[in-house]
Structure 1
Amino acid sequence: MTATTGAAATSVDIAHLTQVRASDPGAFARAWATRSRRPLLGDDGRMLLVAADHPARGALGVRDRAMAMGSRSDLLERLVTALARPDVDGVLATPDILDDLVLMGALEDKVVIGSMNRGGLQGAVYELDDRLTGYTPDEIARRGLDGGKTLTRIALEDPGSVATLEATARAVDELGAHGLMAMVEPFWSQRRDDKVVNLLDPDSTIKSISVAAGLGASSAHTWLKLPVVDDLERVMDATTMPTVLLGGDPQGDPHDTYAAWGRSLDIPQVRGLVVGRALLYPPDGDVAAAVDIAAELVHGGSA
């Protein structure tokens, strides 16, 4: 299925990107150095970011399509379509994807958040020992990104979690030293039948928030990235930190998902959405329409 804009598909010149990588790798540094930047938040204090850091963890599936994100040309087309829509504030992704996008000119005047820990590959025995194998805080600052994101899964029975906690705390400290956002995505997790499962009940989410909020020597630059769970107002009362809500793996009727997002945006701590698969791979393939709905929820008033 090809992404659409409601009219024609967006074209990505993969051959050109590969040629630049082979013959002129310095072009990426030049593109980052000359990129036009914007404030982190607009006048309404909210943001809508498109997420595309899933492939670097080996997580390529969307709904019943196990390899949906396996085509880089298709993924880039969807991202370029999404970023071109009005009121899309930016993107969260890994270095490989962001380097392609900056070279294509798709990141001008956009918020850009770099994904940092991708070492906990989906399904691996070491999944919860989630090393910082993506962006470093220094590189995020050097390239002129606006912040870094960590996935911080906390499983009391898995010793790998403590390494992830330590790495997250270090990332919070180093990003804060650069004056940059540290976006922490915490989950209270368990292993069930050799699979990592994130617990999405309110009390488990509150526990994850409480641990994540205490990581690092200062919380001044910490934001949270949280799932939409039941009793969200009580859950959000666990923190004063600005929070963006994640879209997750899309299931069921998209309209139910949009309605849940809209209700959640009324909570004061919630400052927007960071959504990947639900917007980039909508059931009807119309990326522009899905993104426009989310943008209206974030910037045009909640449903």
Structure 2
Amino acid sequence: MTIAPTRPAITDEQWSELLRVRATQPHAVASAYRTRRRPPRLLSKKDTLFLVAADHPARGALATGGDRLAMADRRSLLARLVEALAHPDVDGVLGTPDVIEELLLLGALEGKVVIGSMNRGGLDGAVWTMDDRFTGYDAASIARYGLDGGKMLLRIDDKDPGTLPTLQACAEAVTELAENGLMAMVEPLPYRREADGKLTLLKDVASLSRAVTVASGLGVTSAHTWLKMPSCDEPEAVFAATTLPCVVLGGVPGPDPAKDLASWGQALRSPAVRGLVVGRALLYPPDGDVAGAVSAAAAVLRAAHEGDVP
């Protein structure tokens, strides 16, 4: 059966109430953090983890699907997130404080895993874009607000001295999160700056494996560290570089959703991989069917976990 695409929506009443609470009841945010029902554990009953990501806007990365301001429409973004989170196979969300708090106020995070995004300072397109300073949650606030972990971006460029302070800051965050018994989700991405100034994500085995080993060694313990890595042509070699639990990064959506799904499925077969973290590719699918895109990704994860991916 073909399901007609639907436009995700938050009712006018919900939107008006959110705006009213934001303006008149700032204390409601703390109350929402405090009363949120947390999941019993990070992994689902199937021992997998499926998160939707929504920390792009805080880095100024608003474009998707040819629309350079797609993610600037906050009502649309939140509605898409609410729809994705309503899917029974979606375990939770990864986001910055503003988005997490809005979802809390909308009641969308009950029983869901919530991972706080920590460093968004490397703004998209800025001359300092590789300087991924910590500008969002910190380990203390993640623990205080009852979140389930923190995510940090670690872009590695051997010719950019800004990589070094990011390495140190990530190591400190890994240590502090572990001291609170919380997941530290590290996203190590190797980059090269081209002669024209453009940054290229390196997805060869050697570069990705090296990034995995660097991220694995951060902090005084790796007991609570997870890695968030992109799919690639030889995932079995890349993910063989660690025993740490990993999730596959959905990344920038390509023009062919089916090709994206196939790439994720290949990576999900690696024994160290436990799940999937996808943002724009699911929230802004070409046909507008958020629920359908989420269901397709969930099916790929389920098949990989059960060993049925061709």
TM-score (norm 2): 0.93
Aligned to 1:22: 23
The code of the aligned residue for 2:29 comes to: F
The code of the aligned residue for 1:258 comes to: L
Aligned to 1:176: 178
Check the 8 A contact 2:8/2:290 in 1, yes or no. no
Match of 1:267 among 261, 266, 270: 270
Corresponding position: 1:202 with 2:205: yes
Which string of whole-angstrom CA distances, capped at 9 and with x for unpartnered residues, describes residues 180-237 of structure 1? 0000000111222223322111111011111111111110000000000111101111
Aligned length: 300
Check the 8 A contact 1:209/1:238 in 2, yes or no. yes
Deviation of 1:17 after TM superposition, in Å, equals 1.7
Check the 8 A contact 1:170/1:216 in 2, yes or no. yes
Deviation of 1:15 after TM superposition, in Å, equals 2.7
Most deviating of 38-47 and 273-282:
38-47
The code of the aligned residue for 2:17 comes to: H
Check the 8 A contact 1:184/1:225 in 2, yes or no. yes
CA distance in 2, matches of 1:144, 1:243: 22
Check the 8 A contact 2:191/2:199 in 1, yes or no. yes
Q: Secondary structure at the match of 2:72?
A: coil
Aligned residue runs from structure 1 range 187-198, under 5 A: 187-192=189-194, 193-198=196-201
Most deviating of 63-72 and 220-229:
63-72
Check the 8 A contact 2:83/2:290 in 1, yes or no. yes
Most deviating of 16-25 and 228-237:
16-25
Deviation of 1:127 after TM superposition, in Å, equals 1.5
Match of 1:112 among 101, 111, 114: 114
Q: Secondary structure at the match of 1:91?
A: strand
CA distance in 2, matches of 1:14, 1:46: 33
Corresponding position: 1:162 with 2:164: yes
Deviation of 1:137 after TM superposition, in Å, equals 0.6
Structure with higher RCO (Cα < 8 A, 6+ apart) = 1
CA distance in 1, matches of 2:43, 2:296: 19
Check the 8 A contact 2:38/2:112 in 1, yes or no. yes
CA distance in 1, matches of 2:18, 2:10: 13
CA distance in 2, matches of 1:263, 1:249: 17
CA distance in 1, matches of 2:120, 2:144: 20
Aligned residue runs from structure 1 range 257-296, under 5 A: 257-296=260-299
Match of 1:256 among 234, 256, 259: 259
Deviation of 1:10 after TM superposition, in Å, equals 3.0
Q: Flag the 1:280–1:5 CA change in 2: closer, same or farther, 3 A.
A: farther
Unaligned ranges ≥5, structure 2: none
Aligned to 1:247: 250
Q: Flag the 1:64–1:238 CA change in 2: closer, same or farther, 3 A.
A: same
The code of the aligned residue for 2:24 comes to: S
Deviation of 1:9 after TM superposition, in Å, equals 3.5
Q: Secondary structure at the match of 1:132?
A: coil
Aligned residue runs from structure 1 range 4-23, under 5 A: 9-12=8-11, 13-23=14-24
TM-score (norm 1): 0.95
Most deviating of 281-290 and 252-261:
252-261
Check the 8 A contact 1:20/1:27 in 2, yes or no. yes
What percent identity do the matched residue pairs reach? 55
Corresponding position: 1:298 with 2:282: no
Deviation of 1:19 after TM superposition, in Å, equals 1.6
Unaligned ranges ≥5, structure 1: none
